[in-house]
Structure 1
Amino acid sequence: MSAADDRRFMAAALAIGRQGLGRTSPNPSVGAVVVAPGTDGPVIVGLARTADGGRPHAEPIALDAAGARAAGATMYVTLEPCSHHGKTPPCADAAIRAGIRRAVVAIEDPNPLVAGVGVARLLEAGIEVDVGLGAAEARRDLAGHISRMTRGRPHMCLKLAVSADGAIGRRGEGQIAISGPASRARAHLLRAECDAIAVGVGTILADDPALTCRLPGMTACSPLRVVFDSAARTPPTARLFADIATVPVLVVVGEGADSARTAALAAAGADILVVPRDGAHVDLSAALVALAQRGITRVLVEGGAGLADAMVAADLIDEVQWIDAPTRIGPGGTLPIAGRGLAALAERFEIIQVETIGDDRWTHLWRRECSQAS
């Protein structure tokens, strides 16, 4: 297998792994590709991603698809095959039984139950193992899993649509369309790629959003909706509750929140998470730890300015999708990041991509230590 072949097939494994983002928690969405010799060169004989709900894992699905052709083949996988017995048998053992000759692994698994043991088991079985190809892409694709394993909290992505005059809305008014239709469609795809979408109670009171994924055919991909609401002020009549039977809602309240209001939210179908207070607000770090303990790995923070500012101030944001739109808000605009704009993120984040979507400019930023981590 040439170096070009390795790059091509690992790119395929990464691409198929990304298709499961937001659908496999608490497990990571791993991509696996099994490649065997063919008459005209190497050919893919099995490929898969982690199944919805996290099981089965990608490797046994791809190996089963390959069947007898897995013997002597090369398996490309975006995360080290697991080596422990959980709810499924170890993927490393499945690869050994299938008789693969070589494994190309993007990154080792930070899960302490694996952490190099899967690679070691393959090597002990006489399988050639190469680790590191596609590592940068895999770390971003699997950032939720990595964050949950190493920091005990989800990976946090902040999305902000900002007007030409630097605002994300206008005080005292409901939702205002800032970005264009192409950007709004892209934002709904971001929702589908996360396990949860988070807003502050101010956004619920001002905008009464549904917070679902409204791309055609993707309603079922809507993530858990999380409301940070220290005093349980969310109205039980909010739009969030109209489809709670299919898209769940979790309200994070502070200790000592009004019991009657909390009970009303629970009666409306919300799951209530009580966390310690940090002054007048909930302790954000404690809330994120609790979300990780529930299996949440990736959270999209959508609004409003108060929650965004608090998350940035607490250094809890790992990724930013910043959308500059030509729309102007005018007087009374709500300014993000305490009015300091994109420049306020320069010290902690690096720009990894800038692209134009419709009439808007999207700047994708990543926390420096996350993007540089091995």
Structure 2
Amino acid sequence: MVSPAEDKAMARAIELAARGLGATSPNPVFGCVILNASGQVVGEGFHAYAGGPHAEIVALAQAGERAKGGTAVVTLEPCNHTGRTGPCAQALVRSGVSRVVIAVADPNPLAAGGAQALRDAGVEVVVGVRAAEAEEGNIAWLTSVRRGRPYLIWKTAATMDGRAAAVDGSSMWITSEAARMDVHRLRGTVDAIMIGVGTVLAEDPRLTARDLRTGSLAIRQPLRVVIDSQGRTPADARVRDSAAPTLIATTALLGADADGRVDLRAVLRELHHRGIRSVLLEGGPHLAGAFLAAGLVDLIVSYVAPKLLGDGPAALVGAGVTTVTDAIDLEVLDVDRVGPDLRLTARPRVSADSGNL
């Protein structure tokens, strides 16, 4: 059982953890709130960037001596190993806290064991408080650890009749500026943005995270990934500029699947090896269909414009569905207005491929 103060502190810790989205990979996001012996907040912290101090260290620095006899409330089990920073479990023991409340146990075998180390030192430990909320906030990192691949979000934009472009191929702009600004916000929370070579050849996108109001680039840029089986990306394509790092995924580099195209699982393995924990898939309908057919899509963010085209390329092609009974069933998580458009967030009800790649 936890007190109302501890429950409120966990909600705050989850909120703090979200501030690190897009900046902590290959580490998770996590937050910490320190309560003194009377249940008052005396310290707060979150993991801001990879290699930087962990949330517990930041919060303990604020709390100082007031942490003694108090409670540390953390979204993820404190680490118990020395990496670029020291073990947080031992820092909590040294601080003199008498109780640690944890949302989610650490599934990473290299860092796990913090809860037991705290118990061995005489600290009371409670695990599982607001676990579902904390998992959602840290879903990319948790997925990458559990499945050995990045968490993959498919972003799509279409008219109300499901068209991604008009008959003449024009697609700028189906959705509003407000929706496009929202996409750039989303880009800023992931580690990589992925498209296919067809999109490069048709649109020559820069594929960066920007502030559309000022045109300025975000401080941290995701890795740009182009799925390009035969290496057709032009040397002067904008995805090859110096604005952000780029990986051109070819069969020569990563191997081919049974159809002679880039092995998508090999791509995800390579990205995971590079510390990429979340990917935003912005490719065309065929690439999206290939990832869906392979069971590798974890979340869908769909922007729907209040427009009708009547004809033109569909937003999704080749997802392996041949009859209504094979339809990919989705669980809708959120529906919101973004300017004149709708943003729907959903995930496949049949869980994405859970095996290691």
Alignment TM-score > 0.5, same fold:
yes
Task: Give the structure 1 partner of residue 88 of structure 2.
Answer: 91
1:226 aligns with 2:222: no
Deviation at 1:90, TM superposition (A): 0.8
Partners of 1:171 and 1:301 lie apart in 2 by 23
Task: Give the structure 2 partner of residue 268 of structure 1.
Answer: none
What does 1:1-374 align with in structure 2 at a 5 Å threshold?
A: 3-37=3-37, 42-115=39-112, 117-170=113-166, 173=169, 175-215=171-211, 219-242=218-241, 244=242, 246-255=243-252, 274-278=253-257, 279-338=259-318, 347=328, 349-368=330-349
Calculate percent identity across the aligned residue pairs.
Answer: 40
Deviation at 1:112, TM superposition (A): 1.3
Q: Deviations over 1:315-334 (max 9, x none)?
A: 10011112221123343233
Q: Report the more deviating stretch, 344-353 or 287-296.
A: 344-353
Q: Report the more deviating stretch, 228-237 or 327-336.
A: 327-336
Q: Structure 1 residues 184 and 140 mapped into 2: Cα distance closer, same or farther (>3 Å)?
A: same
Partners of 2:168 and 2:235 lie apart in 1 by 21
Q: Structure 1 residues 370 and 35 mapped into 2: Cα distance closer, same or farther (>3 Å)?
A: farther
Question: Residue 109 of structure 1 aligns to a residue in which SS?
Answer: coil
Q: Structure 1 residues 118 and 214 mapped into 2: Cα distance closer, same or farther (>3 Å)?
A: same
8 Å CA contact 2:293–2:318 kept in 1: the answer is no
Aligned residues: 346
Taking only aligned residues, the RMSD between alpha carbons, in angstroms, comes to: 2.4
Deviation at 1:175, TM superposition (A): 4.2
Q: Which AA in structure 1 matches 2:205?
A: P
Q: Structure 1 residues 222 and 91 mapped into 2: Cα distance closer, same or farther (>3 Å)?
A: same
Q: Which AA in structure 2 matches 1:211?
A: L
Partners of 1:35 and 1:185 lie apart in 2 by 38
Per the normalisation by structure 1, the TM-score is 0.86
8 Å CA contact 1:28–1:145 kept in 2: the answer is yes
Deviation at 1:345, TM superposition (A): 9.4
Deviation at 1:205, TM superposition (A): 0.7
Q: Which AA in structure 1 matches 2:255?
A: P
Q: Structure 1 residues 107 and 367 mapped into 2: Cα distance closer, same or farther (>3 Å)?
A: farther
Partners of 2:153 and 2:111 lie apart in 1 by 26
Q: Deviations over 1:291-331 (max 9, x none)?
A: 10110000010121121111101110011112221123343
Q: Structure 1 residues 344 and 328 mapped into 2: Cα distance closer, same or farther (>3 Å)?
A: farther
Deviation at 1:172, TM superposition (A): 5.6
Q: Structure 1 residues 19 and 358 mapped into 2: Cα distance closer, same or farther (>3 Å)?
A: same
Q: Deviations over 1:171-200 (max 9, x none)?
A: 663542122222211111110000001111
Deviation at 1:22, TM superposition (A): 1.0
Q: Structure 1 residues 54 and 352 mapped into 2: Cα distance closer, same or farther (>3 Å)?
A: farther
Question: Residue 83 of structure 2 aligns to a residue in which SS?
Answer: coil
Q: Which runs of 5+ in 2 are unaligned?
A: none
8 Å CA contact 1:110–1:150 kept in 2: the answer is yes
Q: Which AA in structure 1 matches 2:17?
A: G
8 Å CA contact 2:32–2:44 kept in 1: the answer is yes
Question: Residue 303 of structure 1 aligns to a residue in which SS?
Answer: coil
Deviation at 1:54, TM superposition (A): 4.1
Give the helix-richer structure, 1 or 2: 1
Q: Which AA in structure 2 matches 1:13?
A: A
Q: Which AA in structure 1 matches 2:347?
A: W
Q: Which AA in structure 1 matches 2:266?
A: A
Per the normalisation by structure 2, the TM-score is 0.90
Partners of 2:334 and 2:326 lie apart in 1 by 15
Q: Deviations over 1:60-118 (max 9, x none)?
A: 12111211112122111111111112222111111111111211111001101234x11
Q: Which runs of 5+ in 1 are unaligned?
A: 256-273
Q: Which AA in structure 2 matches 1:125?
A: A
Q: Report the more deviating stretch, 68-77 or 324-333.
A: 324-333
8 Å CA contact 1:83–1:121 kept in 2: the answer is yes
